Chain A
């Protein structure tokens, strides 16, 4: 095979592998943002975290939030709920950032898939 063609095909394989790994990371990140509490499912998005922080700042002891399935949920300890949501977001985001950095620094298919 022509060397120029071979190099181009190798690069194309690398880009395809890298794109797939980035997609996997993003999907895992979204999954890691899910937080379960009171038997319900919530997603720790910046909007939701801010909203819960606002509720906490009002000094309410018990609040109602809507879960990811549109079901209303009584939250008994809003401060704790806020703390857990924020922790979920911070942990998921920093894991995503670290793994993304590793992918970006790998310049070969072997490096991207190595265990």
Chain B
């Protein structure tokens, strides 16, 4: 197969990423009409629990779950849980993808338009999300533009596009190297957060590959939009291409509606609640 979407899903004790992956794939089918490959350790779980998954996922690839770290997951402003976070498999996307041209997206990235299809007709071998918009457009307190205050621009591994090419292979190999030596790179790039993040590893790899300088020349910006809701925001409902959310402002919420926009929903609890409701009718 030449073009397709790759998703990674590794469940922890509270968050069902596999369920998210099926919902995410459902939107991929609807808006991008591309085949979907799910890379997961839960091959038996998906078949037993969601037998309808084959409507949306074309290929299942088993890999063991990567080593996890502990992360605080918020569910709105007031509640949170410390849970295992197994996010470090992303750098293997190049080797595991069955496609010639691959779009990798997070399972909590919900697609509601077809703009990302433009990737596949571009001449680029590697693209990654950089620009984003917060759903509370007035919120200046949250800044995801740099990996640390004194350091380099941040790229989001939430959406990656690559072709089977030398350039893409180099960047994935470099990201694996950074992952293996993360403590060193974390110190060099002044990253305060101790747990490994794909966003940081790819940001460092990009910085190194373009000669340790900031430049808009490479990699090119991904087509389309990326709206970001943090885990302190709450997903209320989705109807067709309309998404209703509550965005947090300090200790209060602001009602938000997005239409035909791609959105990264970091509050996994409210996303899972919504998907449960959706799948109860399947």
A residues in contact (CB < 8 Å) with B: 13, 16-17, 19-21, 23-24, 27-28, 31, 34, 36, 39, 41, 69, 99, 109-110, 112-115
Contacts and interface: CB of A to CB of B under 8 A. Distances in A.
Interface SS of chain A: helix, strand, loop or mixed? helix
B222 to A, nearest CB: 10
Nearest to A108: B255
Nearest to B237: A115
B254 A17 contact: yes
Most buried by B among A19, A23, A112, A113: A113
Contacts, number: 67
Contacts of B123: 39
Contacts of A24: 133, 135, 137, 256-258, 261
A38 to B, nearest CB: 9
Contacts of A28: 225, 259-261
Interface residues of B, number: 32
B257 A36 contact: no
Contacts of B118: 36
B137 A31 contact: no
19 contacts: A17-B255, A20-B254, A24-B133, A24-B261, A28-B260, A36-B118, A39-B121, A39-B122, A41-B220, A69-B216, A69-B220, A110-B255, A112-B257, A113-B244, A113-B257, A115-B238, A115-B239, A115-B244, A115-B257
A110 to B, nearest CB: 8
List the 10 closest pairs (A to B, CB-CB), nearest first.
A113-B255, A23-B137, A115-B239, A36-B118, A113-B257, A39-B123, A115-B242, A31-B225, A39-B122, A109-B255
